[in-house]
Amino acid sequence: MSASLLRAGLLAALLLLQGASPAQPQSENRPQPQAQQQSLPQPQALGYMAWWMPDSWRSASAARLDRVLFFELSIKPDGRIADRNGWPDQWQEFRAGMKQRGTPVDLVLTMFDIKAFNHLFGSARARARLVGDALELARHEDVAGLHLDLEVYDPVPAASLKGVQQFVDELARALHAQSPRRHLSVFLPIGGAVNLYDKATLAQVDTVILQGYDAHWAGAPTAGPVSPLSGPEAMTWEKALAKGLELGVPRDRLLFSFPFFGYEWRVKGDAPRGPTIGKGATTSLVPLPEGLVPAIQANTRERAGTHGARRDDLSGTVFYQYKASDRRHYEGWYEDTWSMQKKIEFLRRESLGGLAFFVLGYDGDALLDHYLEGRAAPAVTPEKNAPSVAGSAWPFSTR
């Protein structure tokens, strides 16, 4: 065999081994298989550490969080951040623990009252005071950023709406100019009469946490899912995501809040989603230490163990029903590993930034552990318009 033929034969064999042919050399533009194993960005895990759950940060699971949000510091109508729940002096051990772990801590600034909101953001003087107090808090060496939780669902005057947007813009610019640069995130209410933030405002924000719970709340007129993926409720994950995208927020900066709590209502009759009688009670997934949270007297693990649980495919959540000894009917809705899996499949399918859990400790770290263990697994990129197979990357139990 001549040297030229030998070289040609070796070249052909090499091309065949590489999956190409001499007549059709590989092209960088050749379409790749529609479904393949690849490493996607790891979804974030944020946790709200409430002041009334002072030891929830100590667990090994909480140590794996990407950020911890200290909840809460309340904003007054005049712009003062007066009720700080002991921050920072009474939280020295927590601060030292977070610093040792290298976990960023953001302070959650809250306001939930519509009258206070309108007074504050309708006043340039009150806004200026709030900016000053907020920046003073952010300068602390143990503070990595601020999280704004302004929850208003009623119509607000145009002046107040413009005022809150100006406030966020000014605060963002000042935080980003600090050294080191401070992080700014906002909670985005869903289902209200007005959007508190516009595209220009949210473009200044680092992270947007979409409201992912309270579709049915303690005082709701009917029982129903707290955190529905889809359905007729004003707040669902699908509707929340559509709102976030409509406001121009990139998908990787959109996170969902995920509840570690549920609600149980007394209801009329035994039909699911029945009319409620009186105000519902907050439930945790697991029993909490006696006296720690007096308002929570029931846990859904025991309720479901006694009365059984049912899956609601429309909302992707679970519920239980029972008749008490006094013949009154009760219905409770909550999240378990099955419902979490549904939501994580949604999270993966939509290429979103992660979850923010409220409140740390209410689940005994059971749900948090499932999320943390599964999020690092490689995901399969599904064929466009094909059913998602991302759930195979999340090894959750379905109990």
Amino acid present at 205: V
pLDDT at 393 over 90: no
pLDDT of residue 17: 36
pLDDT at 149 over 80: yes
CATH number of 250's domain: 3.20.20.80
Which residues span the domain enclosing 83?
Answer: 39-259+336-393
Closest to 109 in 3D by CA, of 161, 157, 167? 167
Structural domain includes residue 61: yes
Closest to 267 in 3D by CA, of 215, 231, 305, 221? 221
Structural domain includes residue 311: no
The DSSP element (H or E) to which 168 belongs, if any, is: helix 158-177
Structural domain includes residue 88: yes
pLDDT digits (tens, 9 = 90+) for 307-331: 999 999 999 999 999 999 999 999 9
pLDDT at 345 over 60: yes
Beta bridge partners, 254, equal: 208
pLDDT of residue 24: 39
Query: Is the Cα dihedral 16, 21, 25, 30 positive or negative?
Result: negative
Q: Could you give the count of Cα atoms lying within 13 Å of 38 in the half-sphere of its Cβ?
A: 10
Residue 379: CB atoms within 10 A of its CB come to 22
- CA distance linking residue 261 with residue 296, whole number of Å: 10
- CA distance linking residue 184 with residue 206, whole number of Å: 5
Structural domain includes residue 226: yes
The DSSP element (H or E) to which 253 belongs, if any, is: none
- The mean of the pLDDT values for the chain is 88
* High-pLDDT (> 90) share of the chain, %: 82
Give the contacts of 216 (CB within 8 A, at least 6 positions apart): 222, 223, 224, 225, 226, 233, 263, 333
Residue 336: CB atoms within 10 A of its CB come to 24
Number of separate domains in the chain:
1
Amino acid present at 119: H
pLDDT digits (tens, 9 = 90+) for 209-218: 999 999 999 9
Rounded to a whole number of angstroms, the distance between the first and last alpha carbons of the chain is 68
Give the pLDDT band of residue 12 (cuts 50, 70, 90): very low
Structural domain includes residue 329: no
pLDDT at 242 over 60: yes
Give the pLDDT band of residue 373 (cuts 50, 70, 90): confident
Structural domain includes residue 179: yes
pLDDT digits (tens, 9 = 90+) for 36-57: 444 567 899 999 999 999 999 9
Three-class secondary structure of residue 71 per DSSP:
strand
Give the pLDDT band of residue 399 (cuts 50, 70, 90): very low
CA-CA distances (angstroms) from residue 258 to 78, 105, 107, 215, 262? 31, 19, 18, 12, 11
* pTM attached to this predicted model: 0.85
Beta bridge partners, 70, equal: 49, 107
Structural domain includes residue 56: yes
For tokens 């001499």, the residue is 22
pLDDT of residue 378: 54
Structural domain includes residue 267: no
CB 314 within 8 A of CB 228: yes
